[in-house]
Amino acid sequence: MRGLLIVLMLTGPALAAPALGAPRAEIDAAARVLAGLPPWAPSRFTAALGEADHWARHRRWMDRRWDRFDQATVEPLRRWAVTELGGDTPRVVFYPFGGPDILNARLLFPQATTYLLFGLERIGRLPDATAPPRAVVHALVAVRRAARAQLGLNFFRTREMHAELAASAYAGVAGLMLLQLVRNGDEIVDAQTGFVAIDGTFAAADPAPPDRPAALRVRFRAANDSTLRTALFVRGDISDRAWSSTLGLPHLVLRAGPVATLVKAASYLLYEPEFDDVRSTILARSTLVVTEGSGVPVHFFEPDRWSRAAFGKVTRPIKGFARRYCLDDLAAVARGGSSAPLAFSFGYRHRPGTSHVFVARRKPGWPLMEPTFDRAARRGIQTRCRAGVTRVVVQR
């Protein structure tokens, strides 16, 4: 335990509450320690890094796992995005069901200035300088466990994250987003907890009011770029019972203008009428959508309004979603494009060469629209798949 006292301090339910908007040097230093990287400048988080056995073990683990992840997923995905998506993309990214996965959004849309992520995962706590050394040790262990799925599969498992958050409040969304950003080469400027106001803006607070969606805002800069960028994670239900009925939630997207939407590893929720309000938002406000089989059903992208392309290998879902495969739609699009195996993991098929990506671009002449909300969980369009064939059922 010697030397660990001021490596990294956290807060948890029994610890002191964090200060909102921690100073830049300290929040960036804390993020780098979590990521297993040496901070750029000394701070109260770093004075004893060289003496801390736990830090050395954490750094070796993170370096080893990240190096493999970087070679297998990060760099191939980054190269694919440059080739297939280019730089002419919207400046706002909408990532429903994204949870803490800021990394994939950054890799696919590096020029964006605002990233809007939504999920059910708890935000956790921001760094603080008063936690005892034992809490720091537990936090580093919990962060490794929480990050393990992404570094192996390229998606987070929500249930596992809930378990790790119980072990350490720093293994929640806050810690994982900070970790990913600095490993991507970004520098953290500040981070604040708060909530989504009724006009769709972020308001700092800790804790958030019980009747408002809790949120985390992280502001950062990319390497060699002075542009201030924002990642906003919003915790809460985005099904029909909440998305269109919670003032402020859809406004985050509606006030942004054109958006690029990313949907991956989304449990086929957008196939259901219970999520047709957020699906309507995607179709009405996006000029570019990047998804895969478990995201937005392909049949919603009508060929006269969207240009469509599929990449990689289209296969049926993993065992847990065995009945959810509409191969006819995806296969038809894939036949007109590239079927070369993808060199990275995307969606639930985590082995390189087994994933696919579907990309839809809004055609000129089809302007952005206002989404249509029915605010009803059981009413709307349901996409059913039987033996690979798509059936569209209207639930009234």
Q: What domains, with CATH codes, occur in the chain?
A: 73-125+186-395 (3.40.50)
Beta-ladder partners of 196: 202
pLDDT at 147: 83
- Give the integer Cα–Cα distance in Å for 265 and 96: 11
CA dihedral for 351, 391, 236, 282, sign (positive or negative): positive
Taken in order 204, 35, 87, 263, is the CA torsion positive or negative?
A: negative
Smallest CA-to-CA distance from 196 within 113, 254, 155 is with 254
Tell me, what's the pLDDT at 7?
A: 35
Please report the pLDDT score of residue 158 as a whole number: 57
Under DSSP, the state recorded for 34 is H
Q: Which two tokens stand for residue 256?
A: 């942004």
**DSSP calls for 238-288:** -STTTTTTSTTHHHHHHTT-SEEEE--S-TTGGGSGGGHHHHHHHHHHEEE
Provide the percentage of residues in the chain whose pLDDT is more than 90. 50
Per-residue pLDDT of the chain (396 residues; tens, 9 = 90+): 333 333 333 333 322 334 445 556 688 988 888 899 988 776 665 554 545 677 888 899 999 999 999 998 999 999 999 999 987 899 999 999 999 999 999 999 999 999 999 999 889 888 665 556 666 677 788 888 888 877 766 656 555 555 555 556 566 889 899 999 999 999 999 999 999 999 999 999 988 999 999 999 999 999 889 999 999 999 999 999 999 999 999 999 999 999 999 999 898 899 999 999 999 999 999 999 999 988 999 999 999 999 999 998 877 666 766 666 566 777 777 766 666 889 998 988 777 788 889 999 999 999 999 999 998 888 888 888 776 677 788 876
Give the DSSP letter of residue 371. Answer: P
Q: CA 286, CA 271: separation in Å to the nearest integer?
A: 18
**What pLDDT score does 27 carry?**
87
Can you read off the two tokens belonging to residue 214?
């809790």
Tokens standing for 132? 């005892």
Contacts of 163 (CB under 8 A, 6+ apart): none
